[in-house]
């Protein structure tokens, strides 16, 4: 078994969760932490027993021993961080959303492909056990033809306007932070949108804090999606087909159970527990592809990431949300 040395960029909330996830994987070595400051890098490295701590991101990229870089910084830095990591010859797993807009994502995809390096959007829920169960049901025809998806991810953020979720300087907004999940779920089950309709409410800083979306597909299917940073919802999803529907329980970012309702039959509950904190599945998926010499994962292909970003571009354009210094 080949082991892979991971370098983590950013020492905030998600990098801590991801570091914890990596500790559950035999194939992964959490090798280096990279921060804007040496102090944060040292603290993070001490907490997760990481042998190397770098006080700048560029020092981490320059470490020849690192195989894969994980990017856990705010969205607006992803483009530069991924560009720098790829340029340094590293494979990359980047937190969602991959970038601020589709134009940036496309540039990264071109760069990764030209350098023959692995790149993936950290859409972690696709790699968890629940998805295999739902996919098996769909493939077995238990839902029939898929007609509709309803999905939502909303939390009440009791934080000030400087927080990442509300801060335009950090590409804030419910859409890029939360809405990307129901949009990615719709993309996973329904494919490429034909038409995207949306209604946005804006927070005092000018970024969205509530978005309702209706997506139409060429085959007549629809998706009704939502996200908000103003209230907490059930955060679940229901996928409707001609023969029945499936409820995906728990938060859509990490579902723990599904219930299958086939018309004329008793509901069937299926537990889909995750192990560790659920972040290790995506990391293992990256290493599985590296083992095979692949530079994309078929379950989260780069063209689909571009498509997801395009959907969010459409919604932001309608709401007139442009981030400071944003290049499209």
Give the gyration radius of the chain's Cα atoms: 20
With respect to ligand NAP, which residue has the nearer C-beta, 10 or 179?
10
Contact between 50 and ligand NAP by CB under 6 A: the answer reads no
Contact between 173 and ligand NAP by CB under 6 A: the answer reads no
Out of 13, 38, 195, 328, the only residue in the binding site for ligand NAP (CB under 6 A) is 13
From 11, 28, 9, 2, select the one nearest 279 (Cα to Cα): 28
**CB neighbour burial string for 198-211, b if at least 16 within 10 angstroms, e if fewer:** bebeebebbbbbbb
The token pair at 64 is 């020849």
Q: How many residues bind ligand NAP (CB under 6 A)?
A: 22
What DSSP designation does 177 have?
I
Q: How far apart are CA 309 and CA 162, in angstroms?
A: 24
Let me know if 96 is a catalytic residue: yes
Out of 67, 121, 152, 177, the only residue in the binding site for ligand NAP (CB under 6 A) is 177
With respect to ligand NAP, which residue has the nearer C-beta, 95 or 152?
95
From 49, 39, 43, 53, select the one nearest 9 (Cα to Cα): 53
Out of 7, 10, 244, 255, the only residue in the binding site for ligand NAP (CB under 6 A) is 10
Contact between 14 and ligand NAP by CB under 6 A: the answer reads yes
Least distance in angstroms from the C-beta of 111 to ligand NAP: 19
Least distance in angstroms from the C-beta of 258 to ligand NAP: 20
Whole-Å CA distances, 88 to 67, 72, 115, 306: 11, 18, 10, 23
Out of 29, 40, 205, 277, the only residue in the binding site for ligand NAP (CB under 6 A) is 40
Contact between 12 and ligand NAP by CB under 6 A: the answer reads yes
Kindly give, in sequence order, each residue whose CB lies less than 8 Å from that of residue 182, ignoring residues fewer than 6 positions away: 151, 152, 153, 213, 223, 225, 226, 227, 237, 252
β-pair type (268-271, 257-262) = antiparallel
Contact between 84 and ligand NAP by CB under 6 A: the answer reads no
The token pair at 237 is 């999803």
With respect to ligand NAP, which residue has the nearer C-beta, 32 or 260?
32
Out of 52, 91, 148, 164, the only residue in the binding site for ligand NAP (CB under 6 A) is 164
Contact between 168 and ligand NAP by CB under 6 A: the answer reads no
Out of 6, 73, 90, 296, the only residue in the binding site for ligand NAP (CB under 6 A) is 73
Show the CA angle centred on residue 227, arms to residues 225 and 228, nearest 5°. 155
Kindly give, in sequence order, each residue whose CB lies less than 8 Å from that of residue 120, ignoring residues fewer than 6 positions away: 92, 93, 94, 282, 285, 286, 289, 296, 297, 300, 302, 305
Least distance in angstroms from the C-beta of 15 to ligand NAP: 6
- Cβ burial, residue 157 (10 Å; 0-12/13-18/19+): buried
Out of 5, 36, 142, 201, the only residue in the binding site for ligand NAP (CB under 6 A) is 36
Contact between 280 and ligand NAP by CB under 6 A: the answer reads no
Which of 47, 96, 116, 234 is an active site residue? Answer: 96
Contact between 126 and ligand NAP by CB under 6 A: the answer reads no
Out of 124, 130, 217, 245, the only residue in the binding site for ligand NAP (CB under 6 A) is 124
Contact between 305 and ligand NAP by CB under 6 A: the answer reads no
From 165, 157, 133, select the one nearest 239 (Cα to Cα): 133
**Span near ligand NAP by CB under 6 A; candidates 7-15, 100-108, 220-228, 289-297:** 7-15
Write out the catalytic residue numbers. Answer: 96
Positions in the binding site for ligand NAP (CB under 6 A): 10-14, 35-37, 40, 72-75, 77, 95-96, 122, 124, 164, 170, 177, 253
């Amino acid at each position: 078994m080949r082991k892979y040395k991971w370098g983590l960029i950013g020492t905030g909330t998600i990098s801590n969760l991801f570091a914890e996830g990596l500790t559950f994987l035999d194939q992964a070595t959490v090798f280096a932490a990279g921060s804007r400051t040496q102090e944060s890098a040292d603290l993070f490295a001490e907490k997760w027993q990481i042998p190397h701590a770098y006080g700048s991101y560029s020092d981490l990229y320059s470490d020849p021993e690192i195989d894969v870089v994980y990017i856990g910084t705010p969205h607006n830095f992803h483009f530069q961080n991924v560009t720098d990591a790829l340029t340094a010859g590293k494979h990359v797993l980047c937190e969602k959303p991959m970038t601020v807009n589709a134009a940036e994502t496309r540039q990264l995809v071109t760069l990764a492909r030209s350098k023959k390096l692995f790149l993936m959007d950290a859409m972690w829920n696709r790699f968890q056990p629940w998805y295999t169960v739902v996919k098996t049901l769909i493939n077995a025809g238990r839902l029939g033809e898929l007609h509709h998806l309803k999905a939502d991810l909303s939390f009440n953020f009791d934080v000030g306007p400087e927080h990442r979720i509300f801060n335009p300087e950090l590409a804030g907004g419910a859409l890029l932070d939360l809405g990307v999940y129901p949009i990615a779920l719709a993309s996973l089950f329904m494919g490429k949108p034909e038409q995207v309709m949306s209604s946005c409410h804006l927070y005092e800083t000018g970024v969205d804090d509530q978005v309702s979306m209706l997506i139409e597909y060429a085959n007549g299917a629809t998706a009704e999606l939502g996200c908000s940073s103003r209230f907490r919802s059930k955060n679940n999803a229901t996928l409707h087909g001609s023969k029945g529907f499936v409820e995906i329980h728990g938060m859509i970012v990490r579902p723990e159970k599904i219930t299958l309702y086939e018309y004329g039959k008793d509901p069937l509950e299926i537990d889909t527990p995750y192990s560790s904190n659920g972040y290790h599945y995506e990391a293992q998926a990256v290493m599985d592809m590296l083992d095979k010499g692949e530079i994309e994962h078929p379950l989260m292909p780069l063209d689909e990431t571009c498509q997801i970003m395009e959907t969010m571009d459409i919604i932001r354009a309608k709401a007139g949300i442009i981030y400071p210094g944003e290049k499209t």
